[in-house]
Amino acid sequence: MGVALTRSAQWTAAGHGAKTLEVTPLNEAIVKEIMMFVESFIYKYPQEANYVFVEPLEWKTNLDPSAFGSGYAVSGTTVKSEEVDKDGEPLLYLSVPQIKIRSFGQLSRMLYIAKSMKLKEAQACIEANRNPVAKILGLDYNIINEKNGNSFVSSVLDKMNKDDDPEREIKMKIALQLKQLDLHLLNHSLKHISLEIRLNSGTVKNDIELLKQFSGKGEQSVLESIEYTSDYEFSNGCRAPPWRQIQGEICYVLVKPHDAEILCITCSKEGVFLNGGKTDDEGQINYERKGEIYKDLVTLLKEKSAIFSENMSKQDVKFSEQLQKDQPNKAPKEEVAVTHKTSITSRRSAQEKNRINLGRSQLTKRLEPSLNWRTSVSSKESRNTLRDAQVEKHGGKLEKSRSSLSSGRAQLIRKSVEKIEEIISDSSSESEEDEEQPDHRQEANADLPSEYWQIQKLVKYLKIGSLKILKEISHNPQIRRNIVDLGGLPVMVNILDSPHKSLKCLAAETIANVAKFKRARRVVRRHGGITKLVALLDCGKHSAEPALSSLYETRDVEVARCGALALWSCSKSYANKEAIRKAGGIPLLARLLKTSHEDMLIPVVGTLQECASEENYRAAIKAERIIENLVKNLNSENEQLQEHCAMAIYQCAEDEDTRDLVRLHGGLKPLASLLNNTDNKERLAAVTGAIWKCSISKENVTKIIDRLDGVRLLWSLLKNPHPDVKASAAWALCPCIQNAKDAGEMVRSFVGGLELVVNLLKSENKEVLASVCAVITNIAKDQENLAVITDHGVVPLLSKLANTNNDKLRRHLAETISRCCMWGRNRVAFGEHKAVAPLVRYLKSNDTNVHRATAQALYQLSEDADNCITMHENGAVKYMNSLQVLGKVDFKLQFFSTACFLVQCNFYCPVSQFGAYDSQRHLHFEVYVQS
């Protein structure tokens, strides 16, 4: 962490006093990453979270003592944590304005207490503690932490062997975790820098002039208009005032899309973004940034305007041709040189990729800096390596093209070829994103750092000592890749057959650490690792059914725990889930679930949670009576175990029988009671998800509403800052409102509840928006509630969401609009807020549910004459007809689409309603309806 803060963070020295972090996107990203690491530390590493720092982290805080609740003693302007060290000193001490913290656990809790101020608190802590590793672990570990990868591991191990400190083991673990964070921050910073956009006035001007050529009032135009806010252009091509040019700003433009209000956009060297617009009184620009930074104007406008995105896709060829025609004359010489150099490198890369038949072109891929161990390989050396690989692949002898080619290098080439064949033959067996991409260039390079070869020795001569080292260092993503590249996983899989239980445990735990990415999980499966890991779960295969009370005391149970850990990591792949099931893993997991030991239960439930996403697993889980034990463990004191049990119930409750089992075994009560504990966001999201799925059954909803006060608790969670919690709570409310006896009165009984729901339509999270729309659809079934939410401004907020490409949101938004049309002049208001035209475009979706909801909404909207005109002008008839021709209609969709046509026909026939309406267009529509 200290290295990243020194090398990557951007510091500025004030006129006097300490340095502070500059206000830059990079610094903000670094602080957020550190903050996320600290927030999750208490859950990921509970043992290390209790470690007491060598020196406290101290800074000036803005926190008020009243913000601290249970677990803290508050007296005036002083706060002390009840958690103390061995000398009785509090691990958190606040004496306004100074705060001292001496453990990761207290740091994590402080960030939770800070809430909206946590980013400022994290920044203040970083600025006041420029060398945090020295304060956390001591100066010796800080020196080790600053070492490069080739000596860090050996230094830590040397320190561990020589140091007689009783806390040396936990310090080593924390040192590894901080080093891993350091590498992550450096890599994250490099990627952030590589993605930074450096625009110039010529590029911006060229883009604006081109967009002007494609703008106008026509249907095919991309924009209605685009113009500068200032006509004066400085000699450097900028139009921003000089005091803003210092900030890197180039110009400001006013853009009017076809389907949105006027956008005031700042174009700067870093990219383009929305600003605060022109002030009403003086017409001055509010320069403050109001959103994220985009790489160019086109990217921003595609995000803000669906019509721009649609029409731009039609104009892309013309736009690109014009851009290429104009660009050479405007691009600086150095950019041309870089482009030429990049194109040569890209062509070389493409040729090499084609020769090994990976089928992936690198011509358009942007080169990014990386911290992976690699050195440059000349094109000649690359060709020799590839030729050697081809000889090996076709069964020929591997000939050394140079005398310096070592046996280690030949082994790496063979591994590379095996890996390529593996990717080709099994490219689609696992659909999830690969966490860590393999680096093929590294394997063709003999000039690797010494740490790489140290790991190779550990892999080659695996013993208890080296396995212990590999288990600890395999938390590092780079080292995980190296273990796989050097063939370590097949060796560890073979060790699982060893008669020595300690070796089995170490091998299984190391596999659990390494199998965090797809290629590693595939290697474990292909070498028979899944079957062997499942066999480790059988604690009693060498004895006659031991009593459960003494089960954990046997060494077999520790082996089973490690096997469950490894299976948990491996179960993130579909093929591995099937392998676990076929190897008989479910009965063994069900048996282990009956133990009372939490360190065994967490990986067992974690594995079941991952596997329960598959239907055949859910059937087996019911057959093995696993639901009963999942419900039982909801009453555990361990928050991580509660989270995984709730998530497993969420996955399994897709089936009605499982929902009934949860109720029959008393699972609704602990689920509802966990809603009161809002400290752990991940657990809360899992619990609300489980309640949502369980509440699909009417019997469960009745119990939650009548006896457990679940609806009130769910409604209160709509205020939670975590988007997953909000969304799950909203989804869970839907069946509760549907099945309540007096739903309208119940909803109105929550003070401020309707206003809260309407305001959630301002969220930027698509899942939150979709779930809130579903809630509003159910609320609006009551006319009094519909009137209230109309007064709260639901119509304009729903209309603003209409320009979306997300089908899930489209479906629920259309259903909500349909329901809200049934009050007052709401259907007219939707037309006035330009919600009708975007709804028509929903009919081009591939989702039948979207078609059905849209037809229903259009039917309600078509009772207004102006809306009928808008529908017809935007091709509603054509789209609905095409759906019928393609056979994409069901009875409900056909009913609403036909009804919509008839309503439109009734409105169009009496031409007098529209005054001087175009009679030719009216006649054309009549003929079409008759046909």
Q: What are the residue ranges of helices labelled H in 571-638?
A: 574-582, 585-592, 598-611, 615-623, 626-633
Confidence of residue 368 (pLDDT cuts 50, 70, 90): very low
Place of tokens 């994409």: 888
Over pLDDT 70: what percentage of the chain? 70
How confident is the model at residue 195, as a pLDDT?
61
Using pLDDT thresholds of 50, 70 and 90, give the confidence band for residue 196: low
At 625 the three-state DSSP class reads coil
Whether residue 19 sits in one domain with residue 140 = yes
Pair 130, 278 in one domain: no
Mean pLDDT of 284-304: 86
794 compared with 161, residue with greater pLDDT: 794
CA–centroid distance for 614 within its chain: 22
Q: Are residues 219 and 142 in the same domain?
A: no
Residue 172 belongs to some domain of the structure: no
897 band by pLDDT with thresholds 50, 70 and 90: low
Cα 11 to its chain centre, rounded Å, is 29
One domain for residues 763 and 881:
yes
**Of 607 and 466, the one with more pLDDT:** 607
Selected residue with higher pLDDT from 753 and 879: 753
What pLDDT score does 361 carry? 35
pTM more than 0.75: no
Domain shared by 751 and 845, yes or no: yes
User: What's the rounded mean pLDDT across residues 558-567?
Assistant: 91
Least confident window among 190-199, 813-822, 836-845:
190-199
Residue 213 has pLDDT above 60, yes or no: yes
Say which range, 237-241, 245-249, 325-329, 511-515, has the weakest mean pLDDT.
325-329
Lowest mean pLDDT among 195-204, 451-460, 784-793, 812-821: 451-460
Could you read off the pLDDT of 239-267 as tens digits, one per residue? 988 778 877 889 999 999 988 889 999 99
Domain co-membership, 245 together with 108: no
Q: What is the pLDDT of residues 669-681, one digit of tens each?
A: 888 888 887 778 8
263 occurs within a structural domain: yes
What CATH number has the domain bearing residue 229? 3.30.2280.10
Cα distance between residue 271 and residue 305, in whole Å: 18
355 has pLDDT over 60: no
Taking the CA atoms of the chain, what radius of gyration do you get in angstroms? Answer: 32
Residue 426 has a pLDDT of 41
Residue 94 confidence (pLDDT) = 94
Instruction: List the domain range (segments joined by +) for residue 269.
Output: 201-314
Closest CA to 304 of 330, 328, 273, 278: 273
| Predicted confidence (pLDDT) at residue 701 exceeds the cutoff of 80 | no
Number of domains in the chain: 3
Co-location of 209 and 84 in the same domain: no
pLDDT tens-digit readout, 515-560 = 998 999 999 999 999 999 999 988 754 433 444 444 445 567 888 8
Element (H, E) at 286: strand 285-286
- Quote the pLDDT of residue 121: 92
pLDDT on residue 832: 93
> Using omega within 30 degrees of 0 as the cis cutoff, is the peptide bond preceding 65 cis?
no
Residue 155 binned pLDDT confidence (cut-offs 50, 70, 90)? low
Phi and psi angles of residue 84, each rounded to the nearest 5 degrees, phi first: -130, 165
- How far, in Å, are 71, 135, 325, 599 from residue 91 at the CA level? 11, 14, 65, 26
491, 527 contact by CB (below 8 A) = no
Does the structure show a pLDDT above 70 at 322?
no
82 φ/ψ angles, rounded to the nearest 5 degrees: -70, -20
**611-623 pLDDT, tens per residue?**
888 888 888 888 8
Q: Identify the domain boundary among 262, 283, 314.
A: 314
- 4 contacts: CB under 8 Å, gap ≥ 6: 30, 181, 182, 185, 186, 189
Type of residue numbered 693: K
Is 927 part of any domain? no
**Residue 818 lies inside a defined structural domain of this protein:** yes
The answer, yes or no, to whether residue 357 has pLDDT greater than 70, is no
Instruction: Identify the band that residue 393 occupies on the pLDDT scale cut at 50, 70 and 90.
Output: very low
> Given this model, what pLDDT does residue 162 score?
59
Enumerate the H helices of 163-305 as residue ranges.
Answer: 168-195, 201-213, 242-245, 297-304
pLDDT of residue 320: 61
Of 283, 298, 314, the domain-final residue: 314
For the chain, the average pLDDT equals 76
- Whether 145 and 218 map to the same domain: the answer is no
Same domain as 91, residue 33: yes
Q: Does residue 863 belong to any structural domain of this protein?
A: yes
Strands 98-101 and 249-256, sheet pairing: unpaired
Q: What is the CATH number of the domain that holds 834?
A: 1.25.10.10
Q: Which of 607, 490, 525 is nearest to 560 (CA)?
A: 607
Strands 249-256 and 225-228: antiparallel
**CA–CA dist 519, 534 (Å, integer):** 20
The last residue of a domain, from among 298, 314, 330: 314
Let me know whether 748 and 867 are in one domain. Answer: yes
What local confidence, expressed as pLDDT, does residue 698 receive? 80
Of 163-177, 282-296, 398-412, 493-507, the poorest mean pLDDT is in 398-412
Residue 397, in any domain of the structure: no
Q: Is the pLDDT of residue 230 over 80?
A: yes
CA distance 845 to 807: 7
> pLDDT value at position 233?
87
What is the pLDDT at residue 18? 66
pLDDT score at 675 = 83
Same domain, 787 and 899: yes
pLDDT in tens, 75-127: 989 999 999 998 899 999 999 999 999 999 999 999 989 988 998 999 999 88
Distance from the Cα of residue 65 to its chain's centroid? 34
Residue 1 has pLDDT above 90, yes or no: no
Q: Which of 183, 179, 173 is nearest to 44 (CA)?
A: 173
> Which of 132-136, 214-218, 739-743, 770-774 bottoms out in mean pLDDT, i.e. has the lowest?
739-743
Are residues 148 and 7 both part of a single domain? yes
CB 540 within 8 A of CB 556: yes
Residue at 301 is within a domain: yes
pLDDT (mean) for 595-603: 85
Structure tokens at 376: 């440059």
For residue 553, give the 3-state DSSP assignment: coil
Whether 596 maps to a domain, the answer reads: no
pLDDT digits (tens, 9 = 90+) for 713-760: 888 888 888 888 889 889 988 988 888 778 888 888 888 889 999 999
